């Protein structure tokens, strides 16, 4: 028996049974992935134990599937949700050629990478406040762009002001009181800063929207995800920031995205300097 064939040592059915006992709804699919990932029977046992203890499957495997590819996701880093592919699709549809993309609150960096790859040769800047997310995003982004650590726009290079065509911001948007209601996989294993959006869930969105017009290129767009319940408030927030909002809903993905687009007019020119007065003779 090869040490690389743990499935021969532990029948798939036995893994399925263990996962099912632990409450995994997709036990068959998960068991197949764990068998594929394990390089030895010992490692398989460890992976099954971690999953049965409630660690998200993506953290057990070390990757998450998003937009047709696998992204590295470390423990303690937000797992990109499949529904957020809808946001990326909408961004790809409105991006100009050679777009400059910024991915705020980037987590693993999956959104920015997926969009930059779909657009081909886009300029990509991503940032997050969590060091673990930044480390993970740096691996995923590779030489496709730059990843910065810090609060929202603060770490971005000043030269990016007024140049961002697409600003992705899948900010935390769970209202504080609802965090306790999330499934344990999120509540226990994802960092609170990735989930908790304040009283109504929109505190981080407000801060992003307020600053976005300074960073967007003329005609550039900010895209945020929200719950259905938050949709009207999110529209108000983007409008108050001077952006033209519209709502995109996908029943297929169970996702709501609010897009705020900056005006096409070039920013008002700085006031002309008064003509130099001739010095009296």
Ligand X SMILES: C[S@@+](CC[C@H](N)C(=O)[O-])C[C@H]1O[C@@H](n2cnc3c(N)ncnc32)[C@H](O)[C@@H]1O
Q: Near ligand X by CB under 6 A, which window of 30-38, 104-112, 245-253, 260-268?
A: 104-112
* # chain residues binding ligand X, by CB under 6 A: 21
The residues, any chain, with a CB within 8 Å of residue 127's CB and separated by 6 or more, are 102, 103, 104, 105, 106, 134, 147, 148, 149, 150, 152, 153, 155, 156
Counting contacts by CB under 6 A, is residue 114 touching ligand X?
no
Stretch of 11-19, 43-51, 54-62, 170-178 lying at the interface with ligand X (CB under 6 A): 170-178
Among the listed residues 18, 170, 221, 256, the single contact to ligand X using CB under 6 A: 170
**Is-contact 118 188, C-beta < 8 A?**
no
Nearer to ligand X by Cβ, of 27 and 79: the residue is 79
- Dihedral angle sign, alpha carbons of residues 230, 111, 138, 102: negative
The span of 44-52, 91-99, 102-110, 115-123 binding ligand X (CB under 6 A) equals 102-110
Only segment of 167-175, 178-186, 236-244, 248-256 that touches ligand X (CB under 6 A):
167-175
110 sits near ligand X (criterion: CB under 6 A): yes
Choices 129-137, 243-251, 254-262, 266-274; region in contact with ligand X by CB under 6 A = 129-137
Among 116, 129, 156, 238, the residue binding ligand X under the rule CB under 6 A is 129
Decide if residue 172 touches ligand X (CB under 6 A): yes
User: In the window 10-69, what residues touch ligand X (CB under 6 A)?
Assistant: none
Please, which residue, 27 or 216, has the CB nearer to ligand X? 216
Other residues' Cβ atoms within 10 Å of the Cβ of residue 170: 24
Estimate the crossing angle of helix 41-52 against helix 27-37, to 10 degrees: 140
**How far apart are CB 107 and ligand X at their closest, in Å?**
3
Out of 84, 90, 221, 261, which residue is the one contacting ligand X (CB under 6 A)? 84
Give the C-alpha distances (Å, rounded to integers) separating 21 from 14, 27, 219.
11, 9, 53
Rule CB under 6 A: say whether 116 interacts with ligand X.
no
Cβ-contact 170, 84 below 8 angstroms: yes
CB of 81 to ligand X, least distance (A): 7
| Of the candidates 24, 14, 12, 11, the residue with the CA atom closest to the CA atom of residue 52 | 24
Our finding on whether 235 is near ligand X (CB under 6 A) is: no
| Interacting residues toward ligand X by CB under 6 A | 78, 80, 84, 105-108, 110-111, 128-130, 133, 151-152, 170-172, 193-194, 204
């Amino acid at each position: 028996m090869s040490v690389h064939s743990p499935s021969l040592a532990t029948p798939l059915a036995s893994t399925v049974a263990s996962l099912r006992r632990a409450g995994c709804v997709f036990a068959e699919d998960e068991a197949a992935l764990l068998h594929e990932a394990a390089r030895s029977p010992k490692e398989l046992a460890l992976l099954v134990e971690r999953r049965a203890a409630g660690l998200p499957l993506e953290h057990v495997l070390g990757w998450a599937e998003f937009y047709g590819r696998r992204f590295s996701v470390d423990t303690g880093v937000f797992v990109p949700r499949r529904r957020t592919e809808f946001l990326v699709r909408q961004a790809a549809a409105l991006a100009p050629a050679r777009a400059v993309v910024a991915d705020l609150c980037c987590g693993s960096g999956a959104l920015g990478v997926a969009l930059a790859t779909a657009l081909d040769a886009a300029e990509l800047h991503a940032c997050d406040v969590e060091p673990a997310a930044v480390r993970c995003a740096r691996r995923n982004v590779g030489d496709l762009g730059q990843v910065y650590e810090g609060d929202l726009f603060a770490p971005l290079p000043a030269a990016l002001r007024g140049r961002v065509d697409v600003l992705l911001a899948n900010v935390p948007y769970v209202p504080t009181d609802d965090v306790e209601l999330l499934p344990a996989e999120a509540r226990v294993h994802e960092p609170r800063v990735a989930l908790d959006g304040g009283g109504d869930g929109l505190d981080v969105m407000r801060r992003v929207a307020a600053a976005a017009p300074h960073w967007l290129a003329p005609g550039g767009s900010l895209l945020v995800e929200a719950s259905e319940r938050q949709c009207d408030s999110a529209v108000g927030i983007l409008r108050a920031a001077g952006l033209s909002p519209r709502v995109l809903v996908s029943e297929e993905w169970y996702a709501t995205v609010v897009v705020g687009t900056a005006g096409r007019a070039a920013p008002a020119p700085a006031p002309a300097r008064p003509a130099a007065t001739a010095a009296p003779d």
